[in-house]
Amino acid sequence: MLVTGGARSGKSRFAENLAAASGRQVVYVATAVAGDEEMRLRIEQHRRRRPPEWKTVEEPRHLARVIVQYDAPDRILLVDCMAVYLSNLLLDRLPRYSDLDEDAFPLPGRKGLAEAIEAEIGELVRAVWEAESRIIAVTNEVGWGLEPAYPLGRAYREWLGWTNRRLAEVARAVYLVVCGLPVELKGRSVEARWEDGSP
């Protein structure tokens, strides 16, 4: 399941409520890194909201590996969030390339940074597709606002949109959360899925 929406739309809380209502063991996969005080406070806020019985795995970069490691039929893996994960991937690899040129953008046949990011996302999508766990991935919609002023911002926007599309293709359900209200874009109602045991 993919849960998307704007900043502070309530998407994480919606995903957490779904996981809690499932009755399954929950593994919360956190991708954020406390790089500054604001992020540290946001991470702490999320930690306080989680039930104590949930297992938390902090993994900013290797999501496919974590999904394979913790995959089990009786579990829910809640990944929060894809937007931060993608930012981590981009910033991790930038020092390896001299310029953020056109090869940093997600178009077929591009090499360098684009090829490396596409391989990472491909590995993640395969892990999600093959998993026996129910997976709830939280992400952001970043393409509805102003044009980013810098190439890195534009590359990030392009990659996140591309990643969200890839995940939506393999997800059985996709929700857009607006003003705290979930709008179902794909799949059946959450209640029906929980009742019949489908992911």
Q: Which residues are catalytic?
A: 46
Residues 179, 7 contacting (CB under 8 angstroms):
no
Residues 43, 30 contacting (CB under 8 angstroms):
yes
Give the number of C-alpha atoms closer than 13 A to the C-alpha of residue 42, restricted to the C-beta side.
16
Neighbours of 112 (CB within 10 A): 16
Instruction: List all residues 6 or more positions away from 113 whose beta carbon is below 8 Å from its beta carbon.
Output: 90, 93, 94, 96, 97, 100, 103, 104
Residue 139: both structure tokens together: 């992400």
